[in-house]
Structure 1
Amino acid sequence: MTIYWPDKSDWQTAAAAETGFDPAALEEAKAFALAHESKMNRDIGAALADGHFAEPWPVCKIIGPVKDRAEPSGVILRGGRIVASWGDVERVDMTFSATKSYLALCAGLAVDDGLIPDVHEPVRRLVDDGGFDSEQNRDITWAQLLQLTSEWQGTLWDKPDSVDHNRDLSAKPGAATAKGVAREMQKPGTLWEYNDVRVNRLALALLRVFRRPLPEVLKERIMDPIGASDSWQWHGYENSWVEIDGRQMQSVSGGAHWGGGLWISTLDHARIGQLMLHDGEWGGRQILSKAWVEACRTPCALNPSYGYMWWLNTEGIQAPAATRSSFFAMGVGSNVIWIDPDHDLVAVVRWIDKPAFAGFAERVTRALR
């Protein structure tokens, strides 16, 4: 199948049957996504204030901007062309932890540029801001931050790392779990834990290395070259400003746990999916090194379903019916970029109830002829 690269002002569509889909089955997948809307309050501020992340005051305090979410939306690409879409695919929405995958792209640029010569070296060799001076933190590597195995300990932007200790991603919002109960710290690289404070520590470390705001880097190096819109925004917190080279810069957040994060349209997400599908290439130009994309898809030893801030399907956990080569950017909502290299497929599905995503992926896969 000929690869199509959409330009900034136009994106070709293709009939389902012409791209190897059963049209009726594809419509069924689309209807399924629309019928299984997220249960998350459309008033995101209210959802967070009502305890979506099950945290007590004041640690639950929202310190970044929020906006109401839209109705479900999505798009399916094959060969780069749009074969199905629903909802407002140009509307900018919060995207929660799918933002983490964009942090991984920024880290890849730093590696490609030689700003980070070796991801397995301690971060403190390049970042001297006190955050990696302690005995617990001094040996933490970039790779451990990217794989969520760092065990970084401290408080950043008034949020202690212990707020996400024992976090269970399978628990329902508001469920009573051990989340937030401080535990004994482990040696860096020996425990996998989904911890948003540590992700934000990575974002700050990357800002220190680039000495430029990450949204500027992302726009110049990735979003503009792939023809993304100018509508996306990447926010930090009201207290996440630092001075570098005499300039005030905001350190962005790796999600919207306390507000902020990447706000972006479905179509711009799809462009990123297409870039990753083709190993960092866009229209004959290598935007991100193939080696870095492969690193993002390499399973973490402590969690084979996670790479460098991209979720993997090596064990079929994310979507049992999807290929094991599939990988995903995923965030609360749910907001998902699904990339299936075996089928030359990219799908973005937004505001779908989390348990329903597997059923959506099953229907899309079944629609392939």
Structure 2
Amino acid sequence: MKEEQIKRMEDAISTDYNNMVGMVILKDGETIYENYYNGCSAESRIHVFSVTKSIVSILIGIALDKGLIKSIDDKVLDYYPEYTVKRGEKTLPNIRIKDILTMTAPYKYKFNPYIKYFTSMDWVKFSLDKLGGKGKIGEFRYAPIIGPDILSGILVKASGQSVLEFATENLFAPLDINIEGSITFDSKEEQMEFYKSTDTNGWVADPQGVNTAGWGLTISPVDMAKIGQLFLNKGKWNGRQIVSGKWVEESTTEHSRWEKMNLPYGYLWWIGSDGGYAAMGDGGNIIYVKPDKNMVVAITSLFNPRAKDRVEFIEKYILPCYE
């Protein structure tokens, strides 16, 4: 990027995208831009909200590669034989892992019961209790927090490890990503502070020790860029196949669509109309991969409910520099 292009981009960050705290751009596998804002640095760790979902999707792919999960067509309840299905519940027994990955599973709530979820002692069971009902399997229903933890529970049962242990051994350590440990909250105030923190390194877990799937991971933009590069490399890192190329391709292919927003969805990855794809989290956190330009953009941001669209930012200020 030329100096005038960088200045234009950074002027936009300071005015229109001022909750951004870090950005890394990789081109042809090399870092061509890295900068931090709002008092943050390369050492900062930011809660990236739903970017966590896409990383959990990678872990599901690794578990499949290892034969720990037979197929994403497996029924969810195959992994929860101890779970008692309520009388009259006909939908839940037919929901597959794939339905959770593609956000096409129905739930028994109209509005997300966040307070009951956060104050429950078992977030996986809480999610199972809300799964199913009268909705149809196959219809897109985005589940921000309540629901994805079912995948965390499956990973624990399939691997015999915590999600963080499995992720560290099979994904984070090979990519030289350090996630220090699990994080739990003793109060609502602690949780609110976590959302604003820039120096907490870890992954949120419920009172049972199961790491979250829909949110809860803190990470740096450098490490996010590594995840994007891994996918750009079709699952390879330093010559080692971390996750199969088949899983990368399937994860970033449209399997469902949020019709209201006209947004295609893969396996917990958002799919662009131009061949790109992204892991996106509230407030403007994103791993954006553009294969035809051999480029990855990773951005961390502090939570802002009215944050401007980061894909729009990337398309306006970064991609045109390489046309």
Q: Normalising by structure 2, report the TM-score.
A: 0.77
What is residue 170 of structure 2 aligned with on the other side? 221
Q: Which moved more, 1:291-300 or 1:126-135?
A: 126-135
Whether the 8 Å CA contact 2:107–2:135 is kept in 1: the answer is no
What is residue 91 of structure 1 aligned with on the other side? 44
In structure 2, distance between residues paired with 1:28 and 1:198: 41
Q: Which moved more, 1:347-356 or 1:217-226?
A: 347-356
What is residue 318 of structure 2 aligned with on the other side? 364
In structure 1, distance between residues paired with 2:85 and 2:238: 40
In structure 2, distance between residues paired with 1:210 and 1:33: 42
1:95-244 pair list within 5 angstroms:
95-130=48-83, 134-153=89-108, 158=120, 185-229=134-178, 231=180, 232-237=201-206, 239=207, 241=208
- 1:126 Cα deviation (Å)? 3.1
One-letter code of the match for 2:213?
Answer: G
Whether the 8 Å CA contact 2:106–2:133 is kept in 1: the answer is no
In structure 2, distance between residues paired with 1:151 and 1:234: 27
Q: Normalising by structure 1, report the TM-score.
A: 0.68
In structure 1, distance between residues paired with 2:213 and 2:179: 20
Distance 1:336 1:191, change over 3 A: closer
Distance 1:339 1:186, change over 3 A: same
Distance 1:195 1:268, change over 3 A: closer
What is residue 16 of structure 2 aligned with on the other side? 36
What is residue 193 of structure 2 aligned with on the other side? none
Q: Residue 205 of structure 2 aligns to a residue in which SS?
A: strand
Distance 1:30 1:190, change over 3 A: same
Structure 2 gaps, min length 5: 110-115, 181-200
Distance 1:255 1:301, change over 3 A: closer
Percent identity reads 23
Q: Residue 293 of structure 1 aligns to a residue in which SS?
A: helix
Q: Residue 337 of structure 1 aligns to a residue in which SS?
A: strand
Q: Which moved more, 1:103-112 or 1:193-202?
A: 193-202
Distance 1:185 1:34, change over 3 A: farther
Q: Residue 283 of structure 2 aligns to a residue in which SS?
A: coil
In structure 1, distance between residues paired with 2:230 and 2:285: 18
In structure 2, distance between residues paired with 1:204 and 1:95: 21
One-letter code of the match for 1:193?
Answer: Y
What is residue 76 of structure 1 aligned with on the other side? 25
1:169-206 alpha-carbon deviations (Å, 9 max, x no partner) = xxxxxxxxxxxxxx973122234333421111222222
One-letter code of the match for 1:363?
Answer: Y
1:325-336 pair list within 5 angstroms:
325-336=275-286
What is residue 191 of structure 2 aligned with on the other side? none
1:246-257 pair list within 5 angstroms:
250-256=209-215
- 1:156 Cα deviation (Å)? 5.9
Q: Residue 294 of structure 1 aligns to a residue in which SS?
A: helix
- 1:269 Cα deviation (Å)? 0.9
Q: Does structure 1 residue 348 correspond to structure 2 residue 286?
A: no
Structure 1 residue corresponding to 2:245, chosen from 290, 313, 332: 290
Whether the 8 Å CA contact 1:38–1:334 is kept in 2: the answer is no
One-letter code of the match for 2:295?
Answer: L
Structure 1 or 2: larger helix share?
A: 2
In structure 2, distance between residues paired with 1:94 and 1:195: 15
In structure 1, distance between residues paired with 2:11 and 2:287: 18
Distance 1:254 1:212, change over 3 A: same
- 1:91 Cα deviation (Å)? 0.8
In structure 2, distance between residues paired with 1:206 and 1:34: 41
Whether the 8 Å CA contact 2:48–2:301 is kept in 1: the answer is no
In structure 1, distance between residues paired with 2:60 and 2:225: 20
Whether the 8 Å CA contact 1:76–1:83 is kept in 2: the answer is yes
Distance 1:90 1:344, change over 3 A: farther
Whether the 8 Å CA contact 1:75–1:89 is kept in 2: the answer is no
